[in-house]
Structure 1
Amino acid sequence: MFRTPILAILVAMTVTPAMAQDVSLYAAGSLKAALTDVATTFTAATGTPVTTTFGPSGLMRERIEAGETAHVFASANMAHPQKLAEAGTGGPVQLFARNRLCALAQPKVTVSGETLLDVMLDKGTRLGTSTPGADPAGDYAMALFDKSGHAEALKDKALHLTGGPDSAQPPEGRNPYAWVMGGDKADVFLTYCTNAVLAQRELPELQIVQIPKALSVGADYGLTVLADAPEAAQALADFILSPEGQAVLAGYGFDTANGG
């Protein structure tokens, strides 16, 4: 557990009745490992339990709009929490982390950053992405295609294998991208670099290919505290944005909100 001034402040808050209520955190699937650690640390410091629900940001937003109880929403883009804020469901949206796209490739694929576009365009390459609209990772992949000069060809061939309401779900405990690639569903898959690292830990034979600068797409992550949330929800959001929370995110490969 971090032993820092912010946690000392949080510990002092455990005596207030407002902190007794559990905090419900809805967050992007790409944040699962990092924000699970953040939530565990927060609970240890404050005594306030945090229940976590992870999934594609667009689907998480829809569940909140449908009436599910969430107190803090951490999205893989700024647009989904901003939509809640504009509807009066959420408070101001704050940038708390950044990510970027990488490519996962099967070991049999001969590819580098310099040849990635040609490999993706090859008729024999099965190109996987997440589902646009439901999962910001899919939207970012479409933005990459738009920058390529071959958007129509790439969008036509892209297989939307994860992140959608009807996407096949991996077994409990499996990384979804390692599961997709291990099941030989794609030759190349575009996902967040943080996801690619976790997938490679599970399947070391997978290649991680850095996207060339000309095609690179950054991902801004935003969070909002939902209306009528307990006081502890704002404390959790503040902790995610604190140096200690940002250090946890950085440890999982995210760029922090201040660019560090």
Structure 2
Amino acid sequence: MPRKLIGLLATVLALFTPARADTLKVMGAGSLRAAMTDLLQHFPKQSDEVDTPEFGASGLMRQKIEGGAHVDVFASADLEQPHKLAAGHPERLVILFARNTLCALARPELGLNGANFLDRLLDPAVRIATSTPGSDPLGTYSWEVFARADSVKPGARATLEAKAKKLVGGGEKTPLLVAGKGAVEGIFLSDQADVMLIYCSAVAAVQEEVPTLTSVKLPSALAVQPADGLVILESKPVALRFAAFVMSEDGQAILQRHGLEPIASADSNRR
């Protein structure tokens, strides 16, 4: 167990004495909306209040915090954004709390599978959508996949980067394409692309809206493993309790139910 996490849990154990009620404010990645909302509903807040959480592209959320937004805990779809917020603040704890995987969502007529994956993406007729690198970790992870493709087929990286249309994750630069629908769903419903790399944990929700889409896990040669990290920006009791709950057995089980890979033990068969 990481030394900082041990210190965090030790601090939490010292917080059982009665204290004045406080308010918890959480900001998180859009990909973590369902999981974080579930965690906030179930963690033992005691007499504290939970403010309405905010979600969006991790890089843009981090910029909002740097601009002065008051947040106690920030949960990102990567570790880079939390580390940027912790830089120069040794009291701010960064915790790896879950992992994810990347999948591709594609129109069925592509016939996309693990064996033809890269060839289909390189096909000039196939339109690729991605999130926005820098603003959103999903876009950055997608670019990492393109970089890995170069070792499989030299020149693939340049081709894929040139083809990719950054249609989500850029805030005002990438508005919703279909009113009332999610960003990814809108891409396919408005016929803007044939394939998109997304988190595997998000596949089911998108397929509920666009059931004809097929999903394929990335071939091992192209696979990257996203890491979800949180940073405690304000070390007040309610924030520490929430972070401890995320890493607890119950918290990790909630994350697992939302398609994330737990870091700590989440034994659903415990007695």
Q: TM-score when scaled to structure 1?
A: 0.88
Which residue of the partner structure matches residue 195 of structure 1?
202
Which residue of the partner structure matches residue 157 of structure 1?
163
Output the CA distance in 2 between the equivalents of 1:90 and 1:132.
29
Instruction: Quote how far apart the aligned CAs of 1:33 are.
Output: 0.6
Output the CA distance in 2 between the equivalents of 1:176 and 1:222.
23
Within-5 A mapping of 1:1-260:
15-17=18-20, 20-42=21-43, 47-88=48-89, 91-149=92-150, 150-165=156-171, 166-169=173-176, 174-227=181-234, 229-258=235-264
Corresponding pairs, count: 249
Output the CA distance in 2 between the equivalents of 1:233 and 1:157.
43
* Percent pairwise identity: 38
SS at match of 2:167: strand
SS at match of 1:93: strand
Larger deviation, residues 176-185 vs 81-90: 81-90
Output the CA distance in 1 between the equivalents of 2:160 and 2:103.
16
Output the CA distance in 1 between the equivalents of 2:226 and 2:54.
21
SS at match of 2:39: helix
* One-letter amino acid matched to 1:177: V
Please say if residues 137 and 191 of structure 1, whose CA atoms lie closer than 8 Å, have aligned partners that are also in contact. Answer: yes
Instruction: Quote how far apart the aligned CAs of 1:47 are.
Output: 4.8
Cα gap change, 1:201 to 1:60, in 2 (>3 Å): same
Cα gap change, 1:124 to 1:93, in 2 (>3 Å): same
Output the CA distance in 1 between the equivalents of 2:46 and 2:37.
14
Output the CA distance in 2 between the equivalents of 1:14 and 1:206.
52
Instruction: Quote how far apart the aligned CAs of 1:204 are.
Output: 1.4
CA RMSD of aligned residues (A): 2.4
Output the CA distance in 2 between the equivalents of 1:136 and 1:48.
30
Please say if residues 42 and 48 of structure 1, whose CA atoms lie closer than 8 Å, have aligned partners that are also in contact. Answer: no
Cα gap change, 1:245 to 1:46, in 2 (>3 Å): farther
Q: TM-score when scaled to structure 2?
A: 0.85
Output the CA distance in 1 between the equivalents of 2:17 and 2:185.
40
Gaps of 5+ in 2: 1-8, 151-155, 267-271
Please say if residues 26 and 54 of structure 2, whose CA atoms lie closer than 8 Å, have aligned partners that are also in contact. Answer: yes
